[in-house]
């Protein structure tokens, strides 16, 4: 949450920072602000609301076009989203400008300490407390980087901080603990930001910062130290996508673009996953095969959409490996004294690699000596760095707050993990694994088929634009699809939506069924034991009570036709892989319905893309 940009170089910092904030607005859009240093002063403009409000304020009173500045787009935690609480914040002496992502948990005590020093904070934020502490340090003659280290060791909680000092117009200083920060390395210019998207227009060379580190950037260099002032080891990397990947490309919404990028995202995630002999190879998996053979339990930890990907993975992993697999909400995991140990594999799924709840759960698992594997889309982020192994998805940038291609590529990574474990442990024959891999590699074409025939779904959005509630039903791997379909609708359309295991319908939720209530039903592929027939029975139950049934079923499944008010046809795929195609119409429906209701599809209210606070 919150987007941060800092810049030093020959360009106008104002232009660089504001454009960077536009690309980070998915991280928060309660307010935005910028500060630049010129002639020994901090010049600052900030406004509540989206960046468009900041643009208007800057047009009315532009800031100096100097080469040092920082900016922030906010997802509010402490203090209401208004002009006063917007970042950047200034120290009482006006020298320090500061932006912040995260939560300073001991800010109240520090605020009281400042009051005793005669300093009154003007905002309700925890951020201003840090700005005031830095101001006291630099006023006493302490250089900004040293001041940052001295203040950081006093702070409790999770934070990324970026600061400038008006009397040192050549330096930006930043720090991180449990919150994302990346350095962009340019030619005669350098950047800091929450995400590489902020500076991808200027450089694709980046440095990942470790935990409890401070970075000082100038035009000519980057210096990284620990909070204790010791030199820190850093690792650079090359960003493998460019600016065009983060642009809309003619689509009205980033989310719609990302839905249509899913065939490529799935294909990219599958690239290079087997050798010439057809054996699966997961190069990023830094856990030995011998260790994997000792695993007797798998625990998947994740939040939101990633958790639903984990629920699908449970079915596949248990079926292919016969290892018990649990799926836990990361926000609950460490609070119930979970039973994990050296023979437990904990799988942490996070698109951003910075999800605070998942990171804290991961650390708890490691304290219990469990092995941790991350599934992540962001190279250099915290969760893969703190894990024993990682499977990177290759979705490219996902700007829309509601995840789409992130979900599909997480599913693919989970399938790869399950198949690799089956290969290592000998629970599936090699020809069976190769057959499943061949089907996985055919999925981009199957997804494209669904995307080429969306007229029915688009019409449904028009028909149900005023519907107050929508239900989703599924069984087996269709149940997590139902949950994800409902989540997308809640996120984007702001209406009541629920996903249910279809077999649980008669145990209470059937009371919700009323005349003309839209109910989406995910029908399993034909021939899957009795599963198909069971869901057809559930379909009949809701239709008999007046629901309007929208049925997702295989192209040749004529058995369900009499019970469907609307049919959405899916390609023929095996049961475990069906979520890869079944979720597509539900994503499109949520996107189109929200658009028709006049909502901001890419930036739904109260949400942000990367949840970096617990």
Spell out the domain ranges in the chain. Answer: 3-246, 254-441, 451-596
Tell me the per-residue pLDDT of 513-524, one tens digit each, with 9 for 90 and over: 999 999 999 999
Residue 280 forms beta bridges with which residues? 274
- 234 pLDDT tier (thresholds 50, 70, 90): confident
- Per-residue pLDDT at 201 exceeds 70: yes
Mean pLDDT throughout 226-255?
82
Token duo for residue 259:
């839905």
**Rounded-to-integer distance, Cα 3 and Cα 25, Å:** 7
CATH of domain 3-246: 3.60.20.10
Report the distance separating Cα 42 and Cα 249, nearest Å. 37
Q: Which residues contact 103 (CB under 8 A, 6 or more apart)?
A: 77, 78, 126, 157, 158, 159, 613
| Predicted confidence band of residue 325 (pLDDT cuts 50, 70, 90) | very high
Confidence check: pLDDT of 53 > 80: yes
Distances (CA, A) of 16 to 21, 67, 71, 99, 149: 9, 9, 10, 16, 27
Q: To the nearest whole number, what is the mean pLDDT of the chain? A: 92
pLDDT tens sequence across 151-186: 999 999 889 999 999 999 999 999 999 888 999 999
**Does the pLDDT value for residue 551 go beyond 80?**
yes
- For the segment 97-121, the average pLDDT, to the nearest whole number, is 92
pLDDT of residue 592: 96
Marked catalytic residue, from 257, 428, 490, 609: 609
Query: Is 2 annotated as catalytic?
Result: yes
Mean pLDDT, residues 407-414 taken together: 97
In this prediction, what percent of the chain has a pLDDT beyond 70? 97
217-255 per-residue burial string, b: 16 or more CB within 10 A, e: under 16: bbbeebebbbbeeeebeeeeeebeeeeebbeeeeeebbb
Q: Which of 2, 121, 303, 307 is catalytic?
A: 2
H/E run at residue 586: helix 579-596
pLDDT at 1: 65
pTM of the model: 0.78
Q: Give the CATH number of domain 451-596.
A: 3.40.50.10490
- pLDDT over threshold 80, residue 527: no
Q: Catalytic annotation on 609?
A: yes
pLDDT band, very low/low/confident/very high, at 140 (cuts 50, 70, 90)? very high
- 477-515 pLDDT, tens digit per residue, is 999 999 999 999 999 999 999 999 998 988 988 989 999
d(CA 431, CA 427): 12
Q: Do the domains 254-441 and 3-246 match in fold?
A: no
Q: How far is CA 600 from the centre of its chain?
A: 18
Q: What is the mean pLDDT of residues 343-356?
A: 94
Contact 144, 138 (CB under 8 A): yes
pLDDT, one tens digit per residue, over 420-437 is 999 999 999 999 999 999
Specify whether the CB–CB gap between 398 and 408 falls below 8 A. Answer: no
Per the omega criterion (within 30 degrees of 0), is the bond before 513 cis?
no
The pLDDT score that the predictor gives to residue 614 is 59
Residue 15 has pLDDT above 90, yes or no: yes
254-441 is a CATH 3.40.50.10490 domain: yes
């Amino acid at each position: 949450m919150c987007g941060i940009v800092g810049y030093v170089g020959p360009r106008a910092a104002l232009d660089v920072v504001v454009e960077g904030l536009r690309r980070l607005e998915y991280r928060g859009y309660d307010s935005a602000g910028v500060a630049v240093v010129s002639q020994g002063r901090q010049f600052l403009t900030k406004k509540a609301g989206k960046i468009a409000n900041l643009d208007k304020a800057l047009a009315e009173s532009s800031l100096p076009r100097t080469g040092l500045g920082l900016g922030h787009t906010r997802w509010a935690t402490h203090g209401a989203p208004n002009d006063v609480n917007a970042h950047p914040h200034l120290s009482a002496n006006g020298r320090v400008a500061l932006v912040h992502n995260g939560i300073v948990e001991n800010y109240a005590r520090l605020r009281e300490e400042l009051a005793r020093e005669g300093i009154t904070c003007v905002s309700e934020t925890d951020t201003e407390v840090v700005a005031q502490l830095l101001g006291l340090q630099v006023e006493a003659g302490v250089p900004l980087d040293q001041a940052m280290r001295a203040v950081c060791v006093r702070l409790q909680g999770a934070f990324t901080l970026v600061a400038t000092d008006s009397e040192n117009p050549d330096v930006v200083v930043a720090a991180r603990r449990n919150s994302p920060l990346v350095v962009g390395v340019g030619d005669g210019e350098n950047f800091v930001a929450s995400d590489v998207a902020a500076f991808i227009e200027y450089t694709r060379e980046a440095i990942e910062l470790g935990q409890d580190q401070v970075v000082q950037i100038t035009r000519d260099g980057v210096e990284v130290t620990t909070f204790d002032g010791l030199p820190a080891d850093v690792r650079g990397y090359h960003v493998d996508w460019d600016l065009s990947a983060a642009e809309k490309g003619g689509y009205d919404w980033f989310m719609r673009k990302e839905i249509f990028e899913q065939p490529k995202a799935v294909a990219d995630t599958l690239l290079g996953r087997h050798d010439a002999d057809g054996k699966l190879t997961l190069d990023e998996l830094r856990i030995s095969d011998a260790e994997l053979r000792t695993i007797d339990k798998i625990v998947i930890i994740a939040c939101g959409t990633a958790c639903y990907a984990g629920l699908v993975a449970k079915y596949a992993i248990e079926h292919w490996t016969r290892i018990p697999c649990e799926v836990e909400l990361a926000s609950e995991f460490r609070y119930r004294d979970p039973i994990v140990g050296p023979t437990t594999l904990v799988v942490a799924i996070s698109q951003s690699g910075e999800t605070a709840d998942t990171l804290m759960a991961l650390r708890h698992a490691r304290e219990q000596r469990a092995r941790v594997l991350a599934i992540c889309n962001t190279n250099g982020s915290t969760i893969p760095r703190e894990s024993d192994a990682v499977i990177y998805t290759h979705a490219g940038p996902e700007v829309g707050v509601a995840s789409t291609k992130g979900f599909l590529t997480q599913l693919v990574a989970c399938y790869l993990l399950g198949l690799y474990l089956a290969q290592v442990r000998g629970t599936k024959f090699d020809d069976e694994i190769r057959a499943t891999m061949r089907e996985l590699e055919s999925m981009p074409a199957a997804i494209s088929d669904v995307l080429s025939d969306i007229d029915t779904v688009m019409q449904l959005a028009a028909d149900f634009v005023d519907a107050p509630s929508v239900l989703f039903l599924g069984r087996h791997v269709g149940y997590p699809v139902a949950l994800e379909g409902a989540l997308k609708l809640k996120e984007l359309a702001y209406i009541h939506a629920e996903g249910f295991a279809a077999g649980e319908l008669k145990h209470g939720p059937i009371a919700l069924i009323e005349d003309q209530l839209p109910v989406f039903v995910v029908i399993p592929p034909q021939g899957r034991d009795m599963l198909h027939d069971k869901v057809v029975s559930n379909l009949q139950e809701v239709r008999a009570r007046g629901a309007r049934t929208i049925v997702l079923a295989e192209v040749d499944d004529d058995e369900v036709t009499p019970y469907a008010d609307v049919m959405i046809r899916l390609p023929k795929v095996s049961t475990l892989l069906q979520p890869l195609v079944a979720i597509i119409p539900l994503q499109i429906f949520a996107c189109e319905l929200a658009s028709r209701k006049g909502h901001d599809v890419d930036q739904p209210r109260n949400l942000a893309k990367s949840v970096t606070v617990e």
